Structure 1
Amino acid sequence: ALLIGALPPLRPGARVLDYACGSGVIGAGAAAFAPGIVLELLDNDSVALEAARENVPGAHLHLGAALAVVGGARYDAILSNPPLHEGFVENHAQLEQLIADAPAHLQPGGILKIVVQRRVPLDRLLSQHFATVTTPAENGRYRVWRAATT
């Protein structure tokens, strides 16, 4: 809900990717917030993608753990609540890969929006790959990061 509330206006036809979509909660929220977007969902869990297929009808699905699975696709927005754990071990590798790869998959003026626990420091990492980094929303536990190449 925090990430959806911090979404920018998305025009009909805007291409949006929900990265590490799980059951599709963020994608479904984005579709409700901005009717007419072209929505794609990516996750490395086939069971989660099946749930997302039911929760977000009409979305295009990608099975994989990295942006490489979408080929050369470019998006107006990439949205994510990325996984920070593998089992019980904290692991930021997928988050770091998303941040490094996202600029090549964004249209000019496109944005990356990530929601993570507030304790996860992303300002330095995002600033290495994006021209503009802000935190448009947060609560006691989570923070939304917005990164743009321009």
Structure 2
Amino acid sequence: MNAFELISTSQGLNLNSLFEKQMDIVKRETRFTSKRPANEIISKIEEAAGPLGFGVKKNNFKLKLQGEKTGRKGHLSVATEIFEVAPSLYMVEVRKSGGDTLEFHNFYKNLSTGLKDIVWKSADESRKEADDGAAAAAGAGAVPSR
């Protein structure tokens, strides 16, 4: 058990709400955690953003992603910053800095698909996803009653 997991077990010190990824309520920014090194996180963000039509400018642990297409409110701009929370645990903040919020939601949904192998999930999150997946699979096989 690492320090983050230990702190999270304490009711008064639970930091999960800082890092929860709630796609439905992403407004102008969101966060995720990763146990991968910062340079690998940066490379993965660049790799995922390129095919989505975004240019990337790097400055240390900060990235500026600029959409090449003009949207409803101009070009979508996204700022990302990587923070070292603990040794080998990083928090990545992804924030809309310009453009349309709905376009940001769509961008983040597509970006997160390309980053899923570097996003760290706690044991509780992994268990919840497994439970949700099992429930969905059980529901899919059910025969509707008449």
TM-score per shorter chain, which class? under 0.3
User: Please, what TM-score do these two structures have when normalized by structure 2?
Assistant: 0.28
- Tell me which structure has the larger Cα radius of gyration: 2
* The structure with more helix, counted as a fraction of residues: 2
More RCO (CA 8 Å, sep 6+): 2
User: Please, what TM-score do these two structures have when normalized by structure 1?
Assistant: 0.27
